[in-house]
């Protein structure tokens, strides 16, 4: 499996960055896009890398925040009509306190651009060994921050990110977990993925930048129990947390950079 980072908060020289995530995943001769960033940065970086987005089998959106869903319009204009998998409630209006977290475009505009939207209510296999995992059960103390709210049928509610999707990719008994922001907790997501096999690689945003030292230690202790081999992390993880993980875990820890790519041979 090869993963190319099309969008992230940092980039290698010659590529663009923005607050957001987008991964181009190549596996068994097929291509998938996980998240789309905020604007058109993923498309621009794909062009620089010679990646033809029209060859994507399907697009998976981790959740309805602008930095993951906002670039979908640009991707569809470039790639043409594609199936787009979203979790239940991804198109609800979402806020961080009073600041809008959803993109300006909504489902109607994306469908006009060719999106064939499929709402995923329960975890499902989308290709041999690739599972889209829906909202990870809360088995640890990790929860989304209380500042996150959404509007459901005109009522403001705390957002527990029931729409959050992650990927579990199984190769030779080993699992690679691909996340967007891990709002429901990276420990909970890894535990969920461990049902498919031994979790070897974790890729994506971990949303740990606002955690206390005590909370981080609890999360680290829990993750150490899974004997993970590789962390390729960035976006909302927090620069200081990436360093702490590198210090705490005796494994490869690599910071995500737009324009970069890496392969897992399991």
Phi, psi (degrees; rounded to nearest 5) at 131: -115, 135
Instruction: Give the containing element (helix H, strand E) for 238.
Output: none
Picking from 176, 186, 145, 180, the residue whose alpha carbon sits closest to that of residue 166 is: 180
Residue 45 has pLDDT above 80, yes or no: yes
Query: What tens digit of pLDDT does each residue of 205-240 get?
Result: 999 999 999 999 999 999 999 999 999 999 999 999
Reported as a pLDDT band with limits 50, 70 and 90, residue 266 is: low
Q: What is the distance between the alpha carbons of residues 106 and 108, in angstroms, rounded to a whole number?
A: 6
What mean pLDDT is predicted for residues 67-94? 97
Number of domains in the chain: 1
| Model confidence, pTM | 0.97
Q: Within 13 Å and on the Cβ side, how many CA atoms surround 167?
A: 33
Reported as a pLDDT band with limits 50, 70 and 90, residue 3 is: very high
Residue 143 has pLDDT above 80, yes or no: yes
What separation in angstroms does the CA of 55 have from each of 50, 62, 79, 176?
12, 20, 8, 22
Q: What is the pLDDT of residue 196?
A: 97
Residue 94 has pLDDT above 90, yes or no: yes
Q: What is the pLDDT of residue 98?
A: 85
Percent of the chain with pLDDT over 90: 97
Picking from 82, 71, 170, the residue whose alpha carbon sits closest to that of residue 130 is: 170
Q: How many CB atoms lie within 10 A of CB 73?
A: 21
Q: What is the pLDDT of residue 185?
A: 98
CATH number of residue 221's parent domain: 3.60.15.10
Mean pLDDT, the chain, integer: 97
Q: What is the pLDDT of residue 265?
A: 82
Q: What is the distance between the alpha carbons of residues 158 and 171, in angstroms, rounded to a whole number?
A: 37
Range of the domain at 258: 2-263
Strand partners, 166: 133
Q: How many CB atoms lie within 10 A of CB 214?
A: 8
Sign of CA dihedral 22, 162, 238, 20: positive
| The two three-digit tokens of residue 135, written as one number | 């909202």
């Amino acid at each position: 499996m090869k993963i190319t980072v099309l969008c992230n908060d940092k980039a290698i020289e010659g590529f663009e960055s923005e607050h957001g995530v987008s991964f181009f995943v190549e596996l068994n001769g097929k291509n998938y896009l996980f998240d789309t960033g905020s604007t058109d940065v993923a498309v621009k970086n794909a062009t620089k890398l010679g990646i033809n987005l029209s060859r994507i089998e399907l697009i998976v959106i981790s959740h309805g925040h602008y930095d993951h869903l906002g670039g979908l319009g640009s991707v569809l204009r470039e790639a043409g009509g594609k199936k787009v998998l979203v979790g239940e409630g991804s198109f609800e209006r979402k806020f961080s306190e009073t600041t809008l977290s959803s993109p300006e475009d909504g489902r109607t505009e994306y469908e006009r651009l060719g999106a064939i939207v499929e709402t995923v209510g329960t975890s499902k296999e989308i290709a041999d060994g690739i599972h889209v995992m829906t909202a990870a059960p809360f088995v640890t103390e990790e929860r989304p921050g209380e500042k996150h709210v959404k509007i459901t049928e005109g009522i403001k509610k705390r957002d527990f990110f029931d729409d959050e999707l992650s990927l579990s990719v199984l190769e030779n008994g080993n699992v690679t977990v691909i996340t967007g922001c891990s709002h429901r907790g990276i420990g909970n997501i890894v535990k969920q993925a461990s049902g498919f096999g031994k979790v070897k690689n974790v890729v994506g945003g971990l949303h740990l930048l606002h955690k206390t030292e005590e909370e981080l230690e609890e999360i680290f202790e829990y993750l150490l129990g899974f004997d993970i081999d590789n962390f390729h992390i960035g976006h909302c993880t927090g620069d200081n947390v990436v360093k702490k993980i590198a210090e705490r875990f005796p494994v490869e820890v690599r910071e995500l950079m737009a324009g970069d790519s890496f392969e897992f041979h399991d």
